[in-house]
Structure 1
């Protein structure tokens, strides 16, 4: 099998990670690879926001504010590095908004795949608060942007037995076009 196919088949979410994380410079290499996704008209309708240290606490306060709670949510503290995935839409009639969001989602998925392949534990967190004003403000989003979620990144913890993600039965999801 190919390296990409093997990496995709082995990928899984790591809901618990260690306090290690890739450096900013390493992250830039991973993002350069992820940015190669198919992108109609090469609009690059995405950007990423790197959250480390106190950034995660500010995000925790924004999440609680969005949920009507006081204090700081502990959710952003579950990984040493969070990567906010932002769809940054361009006004163009040639590339619809949904297609631009698909590109941003594709960047997030490829980034999670290359991070996993490089030995980092990754999981993608979303939630209703991704669309809240408090969380958007904390990230400095512009009017043409939406937060799609965060990649939580850290070290893969040592396990006595590796766990396997259940495979997909591809025959359930692939069909032929119906005959007219």
Structure 2
């Protein structure tokens, strides 16, 4: 599968099976995803691997962040949850660029997981940046939680799910004030 095919065919899998990548497989996927564009090569990100009973810690923290007791059922929806953490502590690079690099790693990771046959769903929460979730994830000063990748096996489908094609022309524009009718290929630097 080419990178273009992986991007074009990507979809979220809200329901997954109990199959998950092994620790060594996950390390290989993270090493590949870590090649994302990153200003000053800060690598302003890390992931937290959440499996097995560790999902109960997340379940309790999710409910605590919501002001509830007990455990949320959300973390039991996948055998592997990957918490995505951005480290925005560098003063050399704007915080938004550090979060963008971390988000890029998350998306690249979702693509490589999908290509390897795993279903992925990127989940956020209204309380993603709450103190309860920061404490549960052991975040350090300058770190922010971006959300979680829920990962599991792709269930068998009786019919293929087709996503709507993106109408790229609706999302591409020219620089304001540029010459009308001029093709992008005509621009020389």
Q: Under a length normalisation based on structure 1, what TM-score does the superposition of the two structures give?
A: 0.96
- Quote the offset at 1:123 in angstroms: 0.5
- Quote the offset at 1:51 in angstroms: 0.1
User: Paired residue for 2:115?
Assistant: 117
Unaligned runs of 5+ in 2: 179-189
2:24 is equivalent to residue 37 of structure 1: no
How does 1:18-29 map onto structure 2 within 5 Å?
A: 18-29=17-28
Whole-Å separation in 2 of the counterparts to 1:12 and 1:56: 24
How does 1:93-132 map onto structure 2 within 5 Å?
A: 93=92, 95-132=93-130
Whole-Å separation in 2 of the counterparts to 1:174 and 1:55: 43
Give 4+ residue runs of structure 1 displaced > 2 Å after superposition. Answer: 90-93
Rg bigger for which structure?
2
Whole-Å separation in 2 of the counterparts to 1:150 and 1:40: 23
- Quote the offset at 1:91 in angstroms: 2.2
Contact 2:110 2:120 in 1 (8 A): yes
How does 1:1-180 map onto structure 2 within 5 Å?
A: 3-93=2-92, 95-179=93-177
Whole-Å separation in 1 of the counterparts to 2:165 and 2:149: 22
- Quote the offset at 1:178 in angstroms: 1.3
Unaligned runs of 5+ in 1: none
| Helix, strand or coil at the partner of 2:148 | strand
- Quote the offset at 1:90 in angstroms: 3.1
Q: How many residues align?
A: 178
Question: Could you give the per-residue CA deviations for residues 126-147 of structure 1, whole angstroms, max 9, x where no partner exists?
Answer: 0112111111111000111000
| Helix, strand or coil at the partner of 2:122 | strand
Q: Under a length normalisation based on structure 2, what TM-score does the superposition of the two structures give?
A: 0.92
| Helix, strand or coil at the partner of 2:32 | helix
Contact 2:119 2:152 in 1 (8 A): yes
